Amino acid sequence: MKRFACILSAVLFVLLLAAAGFTADGAALYGKCAGCHGADGAKKALGTGQPLKGLSAADLSKALNGYKAKTYGGEKKAIMESQAQALSAEDIEALSAYISKL
């Protein structure tokens, strides 16, 4: 019986980990950004702006929320405004945390 409880808790633990995987995943979300910003965030997107690498999570979420609200950006902001429209608040949080650690 003890052994059964042990196996049961192991199974529950694995299920919990799997469930956690369904929340906003910064790495997966960054897949569609990497083309312009580089896999490690070090590229100047379309030759403009500053590289994302080195920016803090706070700076990143400020920029992304700003693009979404159309209150932030430089000469090519229209590109990022359309990118940011598709992001939820959780997406922006997960992306900012992920990119700040690149």
| Nearest to ligand HEC of 77, 93 (CB atom) | 77
| Nearest to ligand HEC of 8, 35 (CB atom) | 35
Q: How far apart are CA 67 and CA 84, in angstroms?
A: 6
Residue nearest to ligand HEC (CB): 33
Q: Which residues bind ligand HEC (CB under 6 A)?
A: 32-33, 35-37, 45-46, 48-50, 52, 60, 63-64, 73-77, 79-80, 83, 95
Distances (CA, A) of 70 to 16, 17, 81, 84, 85: 38, 37, 6, 9, 10
